[in-house]
Amino acid sequence: MSTHPQDEVQDHSLTDPESFWAEQASHLSWHKKPTKTLTRVKKSLRSGVKHDHWEWFQGGEISTCFNCVDRHVLAGNGDQTAIIWDSPVTKTKQKYTYKQLLDEVEVFAGVLRDEGVKKGDVVLVYMPMIPAALIGILAVSRLGAIHAVVFGGFAPASLAQRIEASKPVAILTASCGIDGAKPPTSYKPFITEAIGISSHKPSKTIIWQRDELRWDNVDKPNGYRNWQRLVHSGRARGLKVECVPVKSSDGVYIIYTSGTTGLPKGVLREAGGHAVGLHLSISYLFGIHGPGDVMFCASDIGWVVGHSYILYAPLLAGAATVLFEGKPVGTPDAGTFWRILEEYKVNTLFTAPTALRAIRRDDPENKLFKERGERGGLRSLQALFLAGERSEPSIVTMYQDLLEKYGKQGAKVIDNWWSSESGSPISGIALVPHAGKDRYTTERGVESLAIKPGSAGKAMPGFDVRVVDDSGKEVEKGNMGNIVMGMPLAPTGFRTLWEDEERFYKGYLKRFDGKWIDTGDAGMIDTDGYIHVMSRSDDIINVAAHRFSTGSIEQAISSHPQIAECCVVGIPDSLKGHLPFAFITLSTPSHPISAIPSPTLFAEVQKLVRTQIGAIASLGGMIQGKGMIPKTRSGKTLRRVLRELVENAVHGEFEKEVQVPATVEDAAVVGVAKEKIEEYFREKGGEIHRATEGRAML
């Protein structure tokens, strides 16, 4: 039986990474070609610890901006569309060609240079989803500087932490952000307060003025500047800047992981590996090859998904990218994504399962999808990619059925798994597997690997994924354990944290004595090599000495046709230690008010859990409600918050505060959850749930 091309590509990338990645690097423009593709080294830390390490593309010099913009113009593709800005919240649509983008970036890079930004400096970016954000980031790259990404709308304390950690010479921001159907939010108090409480003071803050809400009285003596005025002046003076190359190992950006305590962890992305890895992935995995192709990544540039697949990867390929300022629902309705697919003839959509759940909740019969599909408006769509959290099989299956009927022939729903640390997908199903052998293969010469709903596909090139027990020993295929990766990581993967080598070791290598990089995820690899990411390692529920992942139980619950969304956490139990406890949102247009589901619904869900997992995993209880499952802005469910609320309720401490991370999308949701939990426990739960022991009252 012949090996599938995706398996061949993977095998090549792991058995001979030097030749594999040298070939991929040859497809980009280098100011100085690398002298060596992969260098394996030993790293010594101040603490005396030594561990295996690596470096990609040693001796090379590259400009990410040149590869994203200039080279496409020089290749004669300057009139091709680069950016499609679609902003339903401002009722604005705008397109930039590569030639127009180059002009904007050249001028603004000159502005930044005049304002004191130079090679190696850090510039913090705190921006909404507007074209100026992409132009600003590319201009920073053009100067050989590093940008630090912070989601626009982060609270001042969190922003100040990131200012102190990255020590930027300048901040790029805007006068306001617009979150869905809500009124514009002024960024002025966020920025000024953050700078006020930070020990590090950036010398310049450059503000893009938005008509929806302006930043009044720009404080010029204290380094605040009007973006548009600076550009107008620079253009009048003929200000333009050429690309400044940096070493392969130099940083291109810092992105902070959403830790809930302590200082944020700054993941450093390196210029050479970042460009090479993304350039491969956009063609191989996502099926976007160049001019004429359109990518719609419905994330935010404040998150790694948006950074990689709104900004960098589509532009590295010379394709068009959709920059969307809106929400999957409410701007104006649950058909917004489908309008964009039809209007711009999108080839690949990349979003989070949470967005599809919101759409399903508002349009449970998929009328808005079918409406456009039936007139042939979705025939350009070759794939729907999902990431950010685990995709339950029911949502994969539902959209697979829709794509088979209304999408491009052979269209697929593909779950993929990755992290801020990896920079690109660790696993998935390659749309064009031959692109891993020959970059210029743009058609599917062979059918992609089969989809397994509930799985995140197979490992991507360069990622050596294993499953180990708590001692670091590999477990047999099909068994649950800790998901880890061997070294080196693929070129997009991080090699350190910003100015904190010790923390990199302690956070990712120490647990398994430097042998594996710990992903923090738990799951299994099945006998066919498909990766199943079931939960975070700390989301394992121990029921009477049996370990269950929250993801597997959620998968069973979400197979119920009436349930649009669910979340499972562990609730303390005096007999079994913990029991699974579910939060559910129904897909009915008018949601029941009571927090307590009907006995019929609870019995049906319980039957699904018992049938699909086993009686030992039976739910200890279930709460229903709309808008009560808190998420991060990148779509991850905040199970820890719900778990703490439930544990407090078990001990009768309904008013006890829980720590909500700065990354929460809507803090009000936590309040709704609190109310629902209290209602459940006062009416029913107090008699059922008993903790193993009372809490010490301090």
User: How do residues 328-346 score in pLDDT, each as one tens digit?
Assistant: 999 999 999 999 999 999 9
∠ CA 411-321-360 to the nearest 5 degrees?
Answer: 50
* Confidence at residue 528, expressed as pLDDT on a 0 to 100 scale: 96
- Read off the tokens for 243: 């690309």
* Confidence at residue 117, expressed as pLDDT on a 0 to 100 scale: 98
Q: Which range (308-312, 403-407, 574-578) has the least confidence?
A: 574-578
* Confidence at residue 262, expressed as pLDDT on a 0 to 100 scale: 52
Provide mean pLDDT across the span 642-670: 88
Instruction: Name the percent of the chain in helix, strand, coil, to the closest 5.
Output: 35, 25, 40
The CA distance from 52 to 45, in Å, is 11
* Confidence at residue 429, expressed as pLDDT on a 0 to 100 scale: 97
The CA distance from 485 to 390, in Å, is 19
Question: Where does the pLDDT of residue 440 fall: very low under 50, low under 70, confident under 90, or very high at 90 and above?
Answer: low
Give pLDDT tens digits for 139-161.
Answer: 999 999 999 999 887 788 889 98
In this predicted structure, the answer to whether residue 205 has a pLDDT above a threshold of 90 is yes
Provide mean pLDDT across the span 173-191: 95
Q: Which range (229-233, 350-354, 421-425) has the least confidence?
A: 350-354
The CA distance from 639 to 641, in Å, is 5
Query: Where in the chain are all domains bearing CATH 3.30.300.30?
Result: 544-684
Cβ neighbours of residue 60 under 8 Å, at least 6 residues apart? 25, 30, 32, 33, 34, 35, 247, 248, 272
* Confidence at residue 675, expressed as pLDDT on a 0 to 100 scale: 95
Q: Which range (192-201, 352-361, 440-449) has the least confidence?
A: 440-449
Give pLDDT tens digits for 252-283.
Answer: 999 998 543 456 789 999 999 999 999 999 99
Percent of the chain whose pLDDT exceeds 90? 76
* Confidence at residue 371, expressed as pLDDT on a 0 to 100 scale: 97
Helices (H), 208-312: 227-236, 271-284, 304-306
The CA distance from 298 to 216, in Å, is 31
Question: Where does the pLDDT of residue 698 fall: very low under 50, low under 70, confident under 90, or very high at 90 and above?
Answer: very low
Phi-psi region of 57 (alpha: psi -120 to 50; beta: other; left: phi over 0): left
CA distance to 444, 453, 565, per residue, from 448 (Å): 8, 15, 29
* Confidence at residue 660, expressed as pLDDT on a 0 to 100 scale: 86
Identity of residue 616: I
Cβ neighbours of residue 386 under 8 Å, at least 6 residues apart? 350, 351, 352, 353, 356, 395, 396, 413, 414, 415, 416
- Closest by CA to 587, choosing from 566, 617, 613, is 566
User: Beta-carbon neighbour count of residue 468 at 10 Å?
Assistant: 17
- Closest by CA to 341, choosing from 299, 306, 384, 301, is 384
Maximal C-alpha separation, the chain: 77
∠ CA 322-323-325 to the nearest 5 degrees?
Answer: 130
The CA distance from 561 to 161, in Å, is 44
The CA distance from 242 to 473, in Å, is 51
The CA distance from 382 to 85, in Å, is 21
- Read off the tokens for 246: 């940096």
Provide mean pLDDT across the span 492-511: 95
Cβ(120)–Cβ(140) below 8 Å: no
Question: Where does the pLDDT of residue 588 fall: very low under 50, low under 70, confident under 90, or very high at 90 and above?
Answer: confident
* Confidence at residue 589, expressed as pLDDT on a 0 to 100 scale: 78
Question: Where does the pLDDT of residue 659 fall: very low under 50, low under 70, confident under 90, or very high at 90 and above?
Answer: confident
Q: Which range (257-261, 396-400, 588-592) has the least confidence?
A: 257-261
Query: Where in the chain are all domains bearing CATH 3.40.50.12780?
Result: 1-63+274-537
Residue 609, CA atoms < 13 Å, CB-side half-sphere? 27
Give pLDDT tens digits for 672-687.
Answer: 999 999 999 998 866 6
In this predicted structure, the answer to whether residue 58 has a pLDDT above a threshold of 80 is yes
The CA distance from 205 to 183, in Å, is 24
Of 3.40.50.12780, 1.10.10.10, 3.90.850.10, 1.10.260.40, the CATH number of 1-63+274-537 is 3.40.50.12780
Cβ neighbours of residue 412 under 8 Å, at least 6 residues apart? 382, 383, 384, 400, 403, 429, 431, 448, 451
* Confidence at residue 697, expressed as pLDDT on a 0 to 100 scale: 35
Q: What are the beta bridge partners of residue 268? A: 254
Q: Which residue has better confidence, 121 or 434? A: 121
Cβ neighbours of residue 555 under 8 Å, at least 6 residues apart? 390, 392, 393, 454, 612
Give pLDDT tens digits for 90-143.
Answer: 999 999 999 999 999 999 999 999 999 999 999 999 999 999 999 999 999 999
**Residues in the chain, overall count:** 698
- Read off the tokens for 630: 């808190």
Mean pLDDT, the chain, rounded, equals 92
Give pLDDT tens digits for 539-548.
Answer: 778 776 566 7
Residue 229 CA from chain centroid, whole number: 34
In this predicted structure, the answer to whether residue 312 has a pLDDT above a threshold of 90 is yes
Under DSSP, is residue 274 helix (H, G, I), strand (E, B) or coil? helix
Q: Which residue has better confidence, 690 or 180? A: 180
Q: Which range (193-197, 423-427, 639-643) has the least confidence?
A: 639-643
- Phi and psi for 322 in degrees, rounded to 5? -90, 120
Cβ(63)–Cβ(144) below 8 Å: yes
Domain 544-684 fold is: GMP Synthetase; Chain A, domain 3 (3.30.300)
Q: What is the dihedral of CA 486, 489, 494, 497, to 10 degrees?
A: 30
Helices 599-612 and 550-557: angle between axes, nearest 10 degrees: 130
In this predicted structure, the answer to whether residue 692 has a pLDDT above a threshold of 50 is no
Question: Where does the pLDDT of residue 449 fall: very low under 50, low under 70, confident under 90, or very high at 90 and above?
Answer: very high
CA distance to 21, 434, 494, per residue, from 42 (Å): 21, 35, 16
Provide mean pLDDT across the span 656-673: 88
The CA distance from 675 to 105, in Å, is 49
| Strands laid side by side in the 621-624 sheet | 563-573, 577-586, 621-624
Q: What pTM was estimated for this model as a whole?
A: 0.84
- Read off the tokens for 390: 């685990």
Question: Where does the pLDDT of residue 388 fall: very low under 50, low under 70, confident under 90, or very high at 90 and above?
Answer: confident
DSSP string, 8-70: HHHHHHHH-HHHHHHHHHTTS--SB--SEEEEEEEEE-TTS-EEEEEEEEET-EE-HHIIIII
The CA distance from 655 to 682, in Å, is 13
Question: Where does the pLDDT of residue 75 fall: very low under 50, low under 70, confident under 90, or very high at 90 and above?
Answer: very high
Long-range contacts for 689-692 (Cβ within 8 Å, ≥24 apart)?
Answer: 689/571, 689/572, 689/573, 689/620, 689/621, 689/649, 689/650, 690/572, 690/573, 690/574, 690/650, 691/572, 691/573, 691/574, 691/647, 691/650, 691/651, 692/572, 692/573, 692/574, 692/577
The CA distance from 493 to 273, in Å, is 8
In this predicted structure, the answer to whether residue 635 has a pLDDT above a threshold of 80 is no
* Confidence at residue 259, expressed as pLDDT on a 0 to 100 scale: 46
